[in-house]
């Protein structure tokens, strides 16, 4: 369960870069389309079904860059997952260090696999993608004086045509309300992200990263129970308490389920 953060200077830089390119090529359009930005940059791309090989790939060959974008069955350039992968590849092209590294002789292009890779350059490209598709100034306007609810995240995801997870991570990064997001797969916590001002840190996992039982996510792994609305949980159910006075503090938990991956993403915030 690795977790580290990029420096605030780099975060600010990528935010500005995303904002700049979104404004340059998609001014006045609510949804930012990576393929339109690629066109604007004179960067060629090929969407195709590449099976499980990669999500996206930026190749440098014969003095030219080319983006290969994996569109599997029923996917196209407007599918949220594909849009994010495309924006991620644009990151490798736009971020100086990434582009320069690819131009070195003998460097093979690497296929980018998934959102949430722990490799540093992948984290940077993911952050760039988030900043491009959900520019900071636009998101700040959307969440200004809004009370946090899952509906707010749902709105961001629909408005910017990104996955719920991408919208959640962006919301955490801009952090105007403390939330924690925990992703569990097959009964184990695989990653978590939270704002600095979230009141708890350590999860009440049993043994090695096992999802706590008295939680909505725990119910799913116990007997397949799914909740289609926000549930109430207690601090001690999800977290290890440092202070016994915290016992009984009420939190909300809202789950997003992907059965195919046996995956639950829990969004947790204080009631």
Give 11 or 149: the residue with its C-beta nearer to Zn ion.
11
**Residue 12 to residues 95, 173, 199, 252, Cα–Cα distance (Å):** 13, 11, 25, 30
Q: What residues between 114 and 143 interact with Zn ion by CB under 5 A?
A: 122, 125
Q: What residues between 160 and 199 interact with Zn ion by CB under 5 A?
A: none
Instruction: Look up residue 245 and give its DSSP letter.
Output: G
Tokens read off for 187: 């009964």
Closest CA to 263 of 164, 152, 182: 182
70 binds Zn ion (CB under 5 A): no
Smallest separation, CB 6 to Zn ion (Å): 15
Smallest separation, CB 140 to Zn ion (Å): 27
Q: Which stretch binds Zn ion (CB under 5 A): 23-31, 76-84, 106-114, 233-241?
A: 106-114
Count of positions on this chain that bind Zn ion (CB under 5 A): 3
Q: Which stretch binds Zn ion (CB under 5 A): 40-48, 101-109, 111-119, 152-160?
A: 111-119
User: What is the largest distance, in Å, between two alpha-carbon atoms of the chain?
Assistant: 65
Q: Are 45 and 65 in contact (CB under 8 A)?
A: no
Give 122 or 253: the residue with its C-beta nearer to Zn ion.
122
85 binds Zn ion (CB under 5 A): no
**Residue 94 to residues 39, 214, 239, Cα–Cα distance (Å):** 14, 45, 40
Smallest separation, CB 106 to Zn ion (Å): 19
**Residue 239 to residues 44, 148, 233, Cα–Cα distance (Å):** 48, 21, 11
Smallest separation, CB 134 to Zn ion (Å): 18
Q: Which residue in 70, 112, 161, 215 binds Zn ion (CB under 5 A)?
A: 112
Closest CA to 98 of 70, 140, 147, 56: 56
Kindly list the residues in this chain that would bind Zn ion in the complex (CB under 5 A): 112, 122, 125
């Amino acid at each position: 369960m690795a977790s580290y953060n990029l420096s605030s200077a780099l975060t600010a830089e990528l935010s500005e870069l995303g904002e700049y390119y979104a404004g340059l090529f998609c001014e006045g359009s609510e949804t930012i389309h990576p393929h339109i930005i690629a066109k604007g940059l004179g960067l060629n791309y090929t969407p195709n079904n590449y099976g499980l090989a990669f999500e996206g790939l930026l190749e440098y060959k014969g003095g030219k860059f080319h983006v290969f974008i994996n569109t599997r069955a029923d996917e196209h350039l407007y599918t949220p997952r594909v849009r994010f992968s495309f924006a991620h590849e644009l990151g490798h092209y736009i971020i100086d260090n990434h582009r320069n590294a690819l131009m070195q002789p003998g460097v093979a292009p690497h296929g980018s696999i998934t959102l949430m890779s722990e490799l540093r350059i992948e984290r940077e490209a993911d952050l760039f993608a988030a900043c491009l598709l959900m520019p900071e100034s636009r998101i700040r306007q959307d969440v200004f004086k809004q009370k946090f609810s899952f509906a707010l995240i749902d709105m961001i995801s629909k408005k910017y045509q990104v996955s719920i997870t991408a919208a959640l991570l962006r919301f955490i990064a801009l952090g105007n309300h403390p939330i924690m997001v925990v992703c569990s797969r097959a009964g184990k916590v695989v990653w978590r992200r939270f704002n600095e001002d979230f009141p708890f840190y350590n999860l009440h996992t049993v043994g090695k990263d096992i999802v706590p039982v008295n939680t909505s996510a725990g119910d799913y792994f116990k007997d397949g129970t799914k909740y289609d609305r926000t549930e109430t949980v207690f601090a001690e159910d999800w977290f290890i308490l440092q202070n016994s006075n915290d016992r009984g503090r009420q939190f909300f938990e809202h789950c997003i389920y992907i059965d195919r991956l046996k995956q639950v993403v829990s969004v947790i915030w204080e009631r």
